[in-house]
Amino acid sequence: MSFFRSKPGLVAYVTCGDPDLATSRAVILSAIDAGADLIELGVPFSDPVADGPVIQRASERALKNGTSLEDVLSLAEGIRNSRPLTNLIVFSYLNPLIRYGLPKFVTRAKDAGVDGVLAVDLIVEEADEYRALMEKSRLAPVFLAAPTSTDARLKKVAAASRGFIYAVARTGVTGAKTDVRGDAQQLVKRIKKFSKLPVAVGFGISNADDFRQVGKYADAAVIGSAIVKIIEEKSANGASPEVPAAAVGDFIRSVKRAS
Protein backbone atom coordinates (compact mmCIF):
# COMPACT_ATOMS: atom_id res chain seq x y z
CA MET A 1 0.00 0.00 0.00
CA SER A 2 1.52 3.31 -1.12
CA PHE A 3 -0.05 6.37 0.46
CA PHE A 4 2.19 8.99 -1.13
CA ARG A 5 2.49 9.22 -4.90
CA SER A 6 4.70 12.28 -4.76
CA LYS A 7 7.44 13.50 -2.43
CA PRO A 8 6.73 15.28 -0.30
CA GLY A 9 3.21 13.95 -0.01
CA LEU A 10 0.49 16.23 1.30
CA VAL A 11 -1.89 14.94 3.96
CA ALA A 12 -5.02 17.07 4.37
CA TYR A 13 -7.01 16.88 7.61
CA VAL A 14 -10.71 17.80 7.70
CA THR A 15 -13.01 17.70 10.72
CA CYS A 16 -15.99 15.87 9.27
CA GLY A 17 -19.35 17.56 9.73
CA ASP A 18 -17.92 21.07 10.10
CA PRO A 19 -20.02 23.02 9.48
CA ASP A 20 -22.02 20.19 7.86
CA LEU A 21 -21.42 16.95 5.99
CA ALA A 22 -22.18 18.45 2.59
CA THR A 23 -19.40 21.00 3.08
CA SER A 24 -16.99 18.31 4.27
CA ARG A 25 -17.67 16.26 1.15
CA ALA A 26 -17.17 19.23 -1.16
CA VAL A 27 -13.97 20.28 0.61
CA ILE A 28 -12.50 16.77 0.55
CA LEU A 29 -13.21 16.26 -3.14
CA SER A 30 -11.67 19.65 -3.89
CA ALA A 31 -8.59 18.80 -1.80
CA ILE A 32 -8.14 15.51 -3.66
CA ASP A 33 -8.51 17.17 -7.05
CA ALA A 34 -6.00 19.85 -6.00
CA GLY A 35 -3.34 17.23 -5.29
CA ALA A 36 -3.72 16.03 -1.69
CA ASP A 37 -2.22 12.54 -1.47
CA LEU A 38 -4.14 11.43 1.60
CA ILE A 39 -7.21 12.65 3.47
CA GLU A 40 -7.49 12.38 7.24
CA LEU A 41 -11.16 12.16 8.09
CA GLY A 42 -11.37 13.75 11.52
CA VAL A 43 -14.02 12.28 13.82
CA PRO A 44 -15.43 15.10 15.98
CA PHE A 45 -14.95 14.50 19.70
CA SER A 46 -16.08 16.39 22.79
CA ASP A 47 -12.68 16.37 24.52
CA PRO A 48 -10.00 16.69 21.81
CA VAL A 49 -7.06 17.16 24.17
CA ALA A 50 -4.39 16.99 21.45
CA ASP A 51 -6.04 19.68 19.34
CA GLY A 52 -5.71 23.44 19.46
CA PRO A 53 -8.56 25.95 19.43
CA VAL A 54 -9.20 25.87 15.67
CA ILE A 55 -9.94 22.14 15.56
CA GLN A 56 -11.67 22.26 18.94
CA ARG A 57 -14.14 24.78 17.53
CA ALA A 58 -14.63 22.62 14.44
CA SER A 59 -15.42 19.59 16.61
CA GLU A 60 -17.90 21.62 18.63
CA ARG A 61 -19.70 22.75 15.47
CA ALA A 62 -19.79 19.22 14.03
CA LEU A 63 -21.10 17.70 17.27
CA LYS A 64 -23.71 20.42 17.57
CA ASN A 65 -24.95 19.28 14.15
CA GLY A 66 -25.11 15.70 15.41
CA THR A 67 -22.20 14.32 13.37
CA SER A 68 -21.43 10.74 14.41
CA LEU A 69 -18.75 8.18 13.62
CA GLU A 70 -21.26 6.43 11.35
CA ASP A 71 -21.68 9.71 9.46
CA VAL A 72 -17.91 9.90 8.98
CA LEU A 73 -17.80 6.34 7.64
CA SER A 74 -20.71 7.03 5.30
CA LEU A 75 -18.86 10.12 4.09
CA ALA A 76 -15.77 7.98 3.50
CA GLU A 77 -17.83 5.54 1.46
CA GLY A 78 -19.12 8.33 -0.74
CA ILE A 79 -15.63 9.76 -1.24
CA ARG A 80 -14.29 6.33 -2.13
CA ASN A 81 -17.01 5.89 -4.74
CA SER A 82 -16.33 9.32 -6.23
CA ARG A 83 -12.52 9.18 -6.12
CA PRO A 84 -11.60 5.46 -6.12
CA LEU A 85 -7.84 6.02 -6.10
CA THR A 86 -7.65 8.37 -3.14
CA ASN A 87 -6.16 7.40 0.23
CA LEU A 88 -8.42 7.72 3.28
CA ILE A 89 -7.48 7.53 6.94
CA VAL A 90 -9.91 7.85 9.84
CA PHE A 91 -8.39 10.16 12.45
CA SER A 92 -10.12 9.68 15.80
CA TYR A 93 -9.76 9.58 19.54
CA LEU A 94 -10.24 6.10 20.95
CA ASN A 95 -13.49 6.79 22.81
CA PRO A 96 -15.76 7.09 19.72
CA LEU A 97 -14.31 3.84 18.34
CA ILE A 98 -14.96 1.97 21.59
CA ARG A 99 -18.50 3.33 21.85
CA TYR A 100 -19.17 2.19 18.29
CA GLY A 101 -17.58 -1.19 19.04
CA LEU A 102 -14.08 -1.92 17.79
CA PRO A 103 -14.94 -5.08 15.81
CA LYS A 104 -17.96 -3.39 14.24
CA PHE A 105 -15.94 -0.25 13.48
CA VAL A 106 -13.11 -2.10 11.78
CA THR A 107 -15.52 -4.09 9.60
CA ARG A 108 -17.55 -1.01 8.70
CA ALA A 109 -14.42 1.04 7.94
CA LYS A 110 -13.12 -1.63 5.60
CA ASP A 111 -16.48 -1.90 3.85
CA ALA A 112 -16.55 1.89 3.46
CA GLY A 113 -13.22 1.85 1.63
CA VAL A 114 -11.06 3.29 4.39
CA ASP A 115 -7.36 2.46 4.11
CA GLY A 116 -6.27 2.93 7.71
CA VAL A 117 -6.92 4.44 11.11
CA LEU A 118 -5.01 6.73 13.42
CA ALA A 119 -6.39 6.50 16.96
CA VAL A 120 -4.59 9.52 18.32
CA ASP A 121 -4.66 8.66 22.03
CA LEU A 122 -4.10 4.91 21.71
CA ILE A 123 -0.57 4.00 22.76
CA VAL A 124 1.11 1.12 21.02
CA GLU A 125 1.64 -0.81 24.26
CA GLU A 126 -2.14 -1.09 24.76
CA ALA A 127 -3.10 -1.76 21.13
CA ASP A 128 -2.88 -5.55 20.79
CA GLU A 129 -6.61 -6.18 20.30
CA TYR A 130 -6.95 -3.17 18.02
CA ARG A 131 -3.97 -4.22 15.90
CA ALA A 132 -5.27 -7.78 15.56
CA LEU A 133 -8.64 -6.52 14.33
CA MET A 134 -6.97 -4.11 11.92
CA GLU A 135 -4.70 -6.80 10.52
CA LYS A 136 -7.63 -9.16 10.03
CA SER A 137 -9.43 -6.54 7.95
CA ARG A 138 -6.23 -5.43 6.16
CA LEU A 139 -6.49 -1.90 7.47
CA ALA A 140 -3.35 0.09 8.24
CA PRO A 141 -2.90 1.06 11.91
CA VAL A 142 -1.00 4.35 12.04
CA PHE A 143 0.73 5.37 15.27
CA LEU A 144 2.23 8.61 16.52
CA ALA A 145 5.89 9.17 17.33
CA ALA A 146 6.91 12.23 19.34
CA PRO A 147 10.24 14.00 19.93
CA THR A 148 10.06 12.77 23.53
CA SER A 149 9.72 9.11 22.46
CA THR A 150 12.58 6.87 23.55
CA ASP A 151 14.31 4.63 21.04
CA ALA A 152 12.54 1.67 22.64
CA ARG A 153 9.16 3.34 22.01
CA LEU A 154 10.12 4.23 18.44
CA LYS A 155 10.99 0.60 17.75
CA LYS A 156 7.54 -0.45 18.98
CA VAL A 157 5.80 2.23 16.93
CA ALA A 158 7.78 1.20 13.86
CA ALA A 159 6.91 -2.46 14.33
CA ALA A 160 3.19 -1.78 14.88
CA SER A 161 2.56 0.82 12.17
CA ARG A 162 1.48 0.14 8.62
CA GLY A 163 1.19 2.54 5.72
CA PHE A 164 3.18 5.33 7.33
CA ILE A 165 4.33 6.70 10.68
CA TYR A 166 3.02 10.04 11.93
CA ALA A 167 5.83 12.10 13.44
CA VAL A 168 4.62 14.83 15.78
CA ALA A 169 6.71 17.94 15.05
CA ARG A 170 6.69 19.04 18.68
CA THR A 171 4.95 18.44 21.96
CA GLY A 172 1.72 20.34 22.55
CA VAL A 173 -1.50 20.72 20.55
CA THR A 174 -2.27 20.99 16.86
CA GLY A 175 -2.19 24.34 15.14
CA ALA A 176 0.45 26.10 17.24
CA LYS A 177 3.32 27.52 15.22
CA THR A 178 6.52 25.51 15.38
CA ASP A 179 10.00 25.34 13.90
CA VAL A 180 9.61 22.32 11.64
CA ARG A 181 13.37 22.02 11.11
CA GLY A 182 14.47 21.31 14.69
CA ASP A 183 13.03 18.49 16.75
CA ALA A 184 11.00 17.17 13.83
CA GLN A 185 14.00 16.65 11.57
CA GLN A 186 15.86 14.81 14.30
CA LEU A 187 12.80 12.69 15.07
CA VAL A 188 12.41 11.64 11.44
CA LYS A 189 16.07 10.65 11.35
CA ARG A 190 15.59 8.53 14.48
CA ILE A 191 12.45 6.85 13.08
CA LYS A 192 14.27 5.99 9.85
CA LYS A 193 16.72 3.91 11.86
CA PHE A 194 13.92 1.54 12.81
CA SER A 195 11.54 1.56 9.84
CA LYS A 196 11.42 1.82 6.07
CA LEU A 197 7.85 3.13 6.18
CA PRO A 198 7.20 6.67 4.94
CA VAL A 199 7.18 9.29 7.69
CA ALA A 200 4.64 12.13 7.68
CA VAL A 201 5.27 15.16 9.89
CA GLY A 202 2.33 17.00 11.46
CA PHE A 203 1.37 19.57 14.12
CA GLY A 204 2.07 23.21 13.27
CA ILE A 205 2.57 22.98 9.48
CA SER A 206 0.47 25.75 8.01
CA ASN A 207 1.92 27.16 4.80
CA ALA A 208 3.99 26.52 1.69
CA ASP A 209 7.30 27.31 3.37
CA ASP A 210 6.63 24.82 6.18
CA PHE A 211 5.68 22.21 3.58
CA ARG A 212 8.84 22.83 1.58
CA GLN A 213 11.04 22.62 4.67
CA VAL A 214 9.46 19.35 5.83
CA GLY A 215 9.87 17.91 2.35
CA LYS A 216 13.64 18.17 2.67
CA TYR A 217 13.75 15.40 5.29
CA ALA A 218 10.32 13.70 5.52
CA ASP A 219 8.13 11.80 3.07
CA ALA A 220 4.99 13.85 3.72
CA ALA A 221 3.55 16.74 5.67
CA VAL A 222 0.18 16.95 7.41
CA ILE A 223 -1.78 20.20 7.18
CA GLY A 224 -4.76 20.36 9.49
CA SER A 225 -5.52 23.53 11.41
CA ALA A 226 -4.75 25.79 8.43
CA ILE A 227 -7.31 23.93 6.32
CA VAL A 228 -9.90 23.84 9.11
CA LYS A 229 -9.45 27.59 9.60
CA ILE A 230 -10.11 28.24 5.91
CA ILE A 231 -13.30 26.19 6.19
CA GLU A 232 -14.33 28.13 9.29
CA GLU A 233 -13.77 31.50 7.64
CA LYS A 234 -15.23 30.70 4.22
CA SER A 235 -18.31 28.96 5.64
CA ALA A 236 -19.37 32.00 7.61
CA ASN A 237 -22.78 33.58 7.03
CA GLY A 238 -24.25 30.46 5.50
CA ALA A 239 -21.98 30.27 2.44
CA SER A 240 -22.57 27.34 0.10
CA PRO A 241 -20.21 24.32 0.34
CA GLU A 242 -18.57 25.35 -2.93
CA VAL A 243 -17.08 28.48 -1.33
CA PRO A 244 -14.84 26.80 1.29
CA ALA A 245 -14.21 23.92 -1.12
CA ALA A 246 -12.77 26.27 -3.73
CA ALA A 247 -10.68 28.09 -1.13
CA VAL A 248 -9.19 24.85 0.23
CA GLY A 249 -8.43 23.66 -3.29
CA ASP A 250 -6.63 26.92 -4.09
CA PHE A 251 -4.64 26.67 -0.85
CA ILE A 252 -3.52 23.11 -1.51
CA ARG A 253 -2.50 23.90 -5.08
CA SER A 254 -0.43 26.84 -3.86
CA VAL A 255 1.30 24.66 -1.24
CA LYS A 256 2.04 21.90 -3.76
CA ARG A 257 3.46 24.36 -6.28
CA ALA A 258 5.92 25.64 -3.69
CA SER A 259 7.46 22.20 -3.24
| CATH number, domain with residue 91 | 3.20.20.70
**Three-class secondary structure of residue 187 per DSSP:** helix
pLDDT of residue 48: 82
Encode pLDDT of 74-93 as tens digits. 999 999 999 999 999 999 99
Q: Does residue 75 lie in a domain region?
A: yes
Q: How confident is the model at residue 155 (pLDDT cuts 50, 70, 90)?
A: very high
Say yes or no to pLDDT of 173 above 50: no
Domain count, the chain: 1
**Spatial distance between the Cα atoms of 202 and 15, rounded to a whole number of angstroms:** 15
The pLDDT of 4-14, averaged and rounded, is: 92
Cα 88 versus chain centre, distance: 9
With the C-alpha atoms ordered 60, 62, 65, 71, is the resulting torsion angle positive or negative? negative
Quote the crossing angle between the two packed helices 242-258 and 208-215, to the nearest 10°. 40
Q: Which residue range is the domain that position 182 belongs to?
A: 9-258
The pLDDT of 51-73, averaged and rounded, is: 95
Cα 109 versus chain centre, distance: 15
Among residues 49, 46, 41, the alpha carbon closest in space to that of 61 is found at: 46
**Spatial distance between the Cα atoms of 44 and 69, rounded to a whole number of angstroms:** 8
**Spatial distance between the Cα atoms of 115 and 86, rounded to a whole number of angstroms:** 9
Q: Does residue 254 lie in a domain region?
A: yes
Encode pLDDT of 15-60 as tens digits. 999 999 999 999 999 999 999 999 999 999 998 887 889 999 999 9
- Between 2-16, 115-129, 141-155, the lowest mean confidence (pLDDT) is in 2-16
Q: Does residue 146 lie in a domain region?
A: yes
Encode pLDDT of 214-247 as tens digits. 999 999 999 999 999 999 999 988 899 999 999 9
**Spatial distance between the Cα atoms of 149 and 17, rounded to a whole number of angstroms:** 33
**Spatial distance between the Cα atoms of 222 and 211, rounded to a whole number of angstroms:** 9
Q: Does residue 157 lie in a domain region?
A: yes
For residue 224, give the H/E element and its range.
Answer: none
**Residues designated as active site:** 40, 51
Q: Does residue 1 lie in a domain region?
A: no
The pLDDT of 135-144, averaged and rounded, is: 97
Q: Does residue 4 lie in a domain region?
A: no
pLDDT of residue 181: 52
The larger pLDDT score, comparing residue 5 to residue 62, is at 62
Q: Does residue 3 lie in a domain region?
A: no
